[in-house]
Structure 1
Amino acid sequence: MTYPKLLVKRDIVLKNVKALKKLTSENGVGVLYGVTKVFCADPELAQIYVEGGVDGLADSRIQNLKKLQNFDIDKILLRLPQHSEVDQVVRYADISLNSEISTLRKLNEAAGKAGCRHKVILMVDLGDLREGFFQEEDFYQAVEEVLKMDHLILEGIGTNLTCYGAVIPKPHILKRLDDYKQGVKDRFGYDLKIVSGGNSSSVYLLGKEKLPSINNLRLGETLIRGTESSYGQQLPGTNSKGWVLQAQIIEIKEKPSVPVEETGLDAFGHEPVFVDRGVRKRALIALGKQDIVNESLNPVDKDIIVLGGSSDHTILDISDCQKDYQVGDIVDFTLDYVGVLMTCTSEYVDVEII
């Protein structure tokens, strides 16, 4: 057995996906994209999404979409394409999200050379200030140009909220997508197939508010942990305990809780703050910030305190634990979404599906 190890409980993840597919379908969202970037598009984990009923697999990176080519399902590039990768985009993605006319022109050219037609979703910025057309006329100019292109298909429009500006999706905000959809219909006589209303932060509205003409969501956290990301609430019929990180204790010593000499900056250039609890029993585990940030670690043993760490070590206070931990013992942690993403990305953490 090697550690650290991320245990993925297949049945829990599958149950989450099925629950979200049911919830979205019952509320008019007929197209569900499962975001695979959190687990680096591992095909075995992507298969769980497909079994659960997702309508497409979405990822931010071409490297990950390459892993998904054996799935007979739409593949979607979430991050705006780079000019340098347009040839790969039209090869490995059926659909891409876009907000730059220059990139759309290059995609059209690349699709022409590849002898295919590539679908695009135009992104609009509704105030979160990351990607998307901010001025309406810029959006409509892009629509006009795309509709004239021979090798692109205007599949729909979309938006993204909460990822940068933390703007919470509200019905009056999302209704602007209705206005854009109708604007395309009025100006160009063209019906958009997809109206993508965001990510896991929009899920809290399902069953409470009627989402305008939104028929698509791009979900990662909600499928992984069963939580919506606007308020962090657990959704009915889901479970957040499907991902458990295990790490091994490599040292146990009683030491002061405050350094004994003058302190400066730590290994990451920060000035640490310490709480003086006196002499405490401390355990080192073979896991560090190169694998995961301390804030994402939630010990299953609630008597453990995560004190901090460095690149390769995490320091735990085990003084109050009922269990008599020994060197070589394994400590379990549940993870938030960022924790799952980081550990799946780290080549030093083994992933085991059980």
Structure 2
Amino acid sequence: MTYPRVEINLSLIKKNAMNIVELCYKYGIEVMGITKGVCALEPVVQTMIEGGVKKLGDSRIKNIVKLKSFGVNLPVYLIRIPMPSEINDVVNFADGSFNSEFEVIKLISQKAVENGKVHKIILMVDVGDLREGVMPEDVKDLVGKILELPGIEFEGIGTNVGCYGGVLPSIENTSILVEIAEELEKFYGIRVKTISGGNTATLKMVEEGVLPRRINQLRIGEAILLGTDSTNFRKIPNTYQNTVILKAQVIEVKTKPSKPIGEIGRDAFGNIPVFEDKGPMKRAIVALGKQDCRIEGLIPDEDHINILGASSDHLILDVTNSLKEIRVGSIIDFKMNYGTMLGLITSPYVEKIVV
């Protein structure tokens, strides 16, 4: 076998998808399955679909091209604001996209007309997280301009919280979307078909029954893939968390001091490390490093193993109290958070296995 490797449990991911789709369906909410966390890996995408997901979204146009290449016939959306340089692929491969800049939407309109297509637009509204989106007071005028463009279908509005500013979804900030949608409908005499109210972090409001009634779409990746909600630091009820497991191989085991010897400068990443002197400890190194993922998001499967730190290629562990015999060649399992999974799946040095 090849290491390091990520093993992805399709049956558990399917159960997660089914439970989340069922929860949202009770409240009239459509689940857009977000595939970027696994780089649109075909078996995982097909598992999401089998779990009941009716739309797909990804932040990378290359992943969307991949989705189309293996015959996905569900609507697929680009969820990151399109770059002007990728408009041709956006129009040709994505059924719709999330946008905030009129100049970009005009480019999409022009390319859609050239190619005889109609491209769906969801306009992002910034309700406080300060990532992408139009400020609420500017939405009405911008929608008026969008409605005049050929080759464009104004599908609705959306928002994002939690990913940049850490702002939690609330009744107040999600209600802003509903109020804007109703204002648009009254002013322009249109129907706002989609109100995309957030991501995995917003599921907590669904569970509590407090999400404003007209929010009818959530973009869900983490909850399906890992059964977790990083923003609210919790496990999603009725989901599994042992869906994606990292297996890394030990390449050195030695008893060494716990504090480096000599004058301390900066490490390879420009940081000044701080160490506590705990006396001699049994240390193991596994072949994995910061080049592969965010080490901070790794969780050893055994409670008695602790992560001491990492360089670009080496992950250093304290295995002094491990209940297992750790030796060169041993395999150590890790769970992970969403950010770490992104790195591992993206790394060309980590094998991906579906089970």
Structure 2 length-normalised TM: 0.97
How far is 1:230 from its partner? 3.5
Instruction: For residues 199-239 of structure 1, give each alpha carbon's deviation from its aligned partner in whole angstroms, at most 9, with x where no partner exists.
Output: 11100011313322100000111111222343222222211
Q: Which residue does 1:63 correspond to in 2?
A: 62
Kept in 2, the 8 Å contact 1:297–1:335? The answer is yes
1:171-186 to 2 correspondences below 5 Å = 171-186=171-186
Query: Any idea what SS the aligned residue of 2:313 has?
Result: coil
Q: Which moved more, 1:177-186 or 1:221-230?
A: 221-230
Q: Which residue does 2:38 correspond to in 1?
A: 39
Kept in 1, the 8 Å contact 2:246–2:335? The answer is yes
Amino acid at match of 1:251: E
Q: Which moved more, 1:32-41 or 1:205-214?
A: 205-214
How far is 1:150 from its partner? 1.5
Q: Which residue does 1:265 correspond to in 2?
A: 266
Q: Which residue does 1:168 correspond to in 2?
A: 168
Report how many aligned residue pairs link the two structures: 352
Q: Which residue does 1:299 correspond to in 2?
A: 300
Q: Which residue does 2:193 correspond to in 1?
A: 193
Kept in 1, the 8 Å contact 2:229–2:236? The answer is yes
Q: Report the Cα distance in structure 2 between the residues aligned to 1:255 and 1:153, rounded to whole angstroms.
A: 64
Q: Report the Cα distance in structure 1 between the residues aligned to 2:348 and 2:135, rounded to whole angstroms.
A: 38
Q: Which residue does 1:50 correspond to in 2?
A: 49
Counterparts in 2 of 1:229 and 1:336: CA distance versus 1, 3 Å: closer
Kept in 2, the 8 Å contact 1:308–1:314? The answer is yes
1:138-157 to 2 correspondences below 5 Å = 138-157=138-157
Q: Report the Cα distance in structure 1 between the residues aligned to 2:295 and 2:319, rounded to whole angstroms.
A: 16
Amino acid at match of 1:23: L
Q: Report the Cα distance in structure 2 between the residues aligned to 1:172 and 1:270, rounded to whole angstroms.
A: 40
1:40-119 to 2 correspondences below 5 Å = 40-69=39-68, 70-119=71-120
Q: Which residue does 1:16 correspond to in 2?
A: 16
Gap runs ≥5 in structure 2:
none
What is the percent sequence identity of the aligned residues?
41
Q: Report the Cα distance in structure 1 between the residues aligned to 2:162 and 2:86, rounded to whole angstroms.
A: 27
Instruction: For residues 287-308 of structure 1, give each alpha carbon's deviation from its aligned partner in whole angstroms, at most 9, with x where no partner exists.
Output: 0001122211111111111000
Amino acid at match of 2:172: H
Query: Any idea what SS the aligned residue of 2:283 has?
Result: strand
How far is 1:135 from its partner? 4.3
Instruction: For residues 113-143 of structure 1, give each alpha carbon's deviation from its aligned partner in whole angstroms, at most 9, with x where no partner exists.
Output: 111000000010001111111142x211221
Instruction: For residues 136-184 of structure 1, give each alpha carbon's deviation from its aligned partner in whole angstroms, at most 9, with x where no partner exists.
Output: 2x21122111111110000110000011111111112111111111111
C-alpha root-mean-square deviation of aligned residues, in Å?
1.0
Q: Which residue does 1:5 correspond to in 2?
A: 5
Q: Report the Cα distance in structure 2 between the residues aligned to 1:135 and 1:295, rounded to whole angstroms.
A: 36
Amino acid at match of 1:215: N
Amino acid at match of 1:18: M
Is residue 159 of structure 1 aligned with residue 162 of structure 2?
A: no
Q: Which residue does 1:235 correspond to in 2?
A: 236
Query: Any idea what SS the aligned residue of 1:175 has?
Result: helix
Q: Which residue does 1:214 correspond to in 2?
A: 215
Amino acid at match of 1:166: G
Query: Any idea what SS the aligned residue of 2:133 has?
Result: coil
Q: Report the Cα distance in structure 1 between the residues aligned to 2:331 and 2:229, rounded to whole angstroms.
A: 30
Query: Any idea what SS the aligned residue of 2:215 has?
Result: coil
Gap runs ≥5 in structure 1:
none
Q: Report the Cα distance in structure 2 between the residues aligned to 1:207 and 1:246, rounded to whole angstroms.
A: 33
Kept in 2, the 8 Å contact 1:204–1:230? The answer is no
Q: Which moved more, 1:230-239 or 1:64-73?
A: 230-239
Kept in 1, the 8 Å contact 2:4–2:351? The answer is yes
Kept in 2, the 8 Å contact 1:27–1:207? The answer is no
Kept in 1, the 8 Å contact 2:127–2:136? The answer is no
How far is 1:77 from its partner? 0.3
Amino acid at match of 1:288: G
Structure 1 length-normalised TM: 0.98
Q: Which residue does 2:325 correspond to in 1?
A: 324
Counterparts in 2 of 1:230 and 1:260: CA distance versus 1, 3 Å: closer
Counterparts in 2 of 1:256 and 1:229: CA distance versus 1, 3 Å: closer
Q: Report the Cα distance in structure 2 between the residues aligned to 1:207 and 1:263, rounded to whole angstroms.
A: 49
Query: Any idea what SS the aligned residue of 2:87 has?
Result: helix
Amino acid at match of 1:171: I
Amino acid at match of 1:198: G
How far is 1:99 from its partner? 0.7
Kept in 2, the 8 Å contact 1:199–1:218? The answer is yes
Is residue 128 of structure 1 aligned with residue 129 of structure 2?
A: yes
Q: Which moved more, 1:102-111 or 1:232-241?
A: 232-241
Q: Report the Cα distance in structure 2 between the residues aligned to 1:207 and 1:300, rounded to whole angstroms.
A: 29
Q: Which moved more, 1:293-302 or 1:188-197?
A: 293-302
Q: Report the Cα distance in structure 1 between the residues aligned to 2:230 and 2:252, rounded to whole angstroms.
A: 37
Q: Report the Cα distance in structure 1 between the residues aligned to 2:171 and 2:301, rounded to whole angstroms.
A: 37
Amino acid at match of 2:302: D
Kept in 1, the 8 Å contact 2:230–2:337? The answer is no
Amino acid at match of 1:321: S
Kept in 1, the 8 Å contact 2:126–2:135? The answer is yes
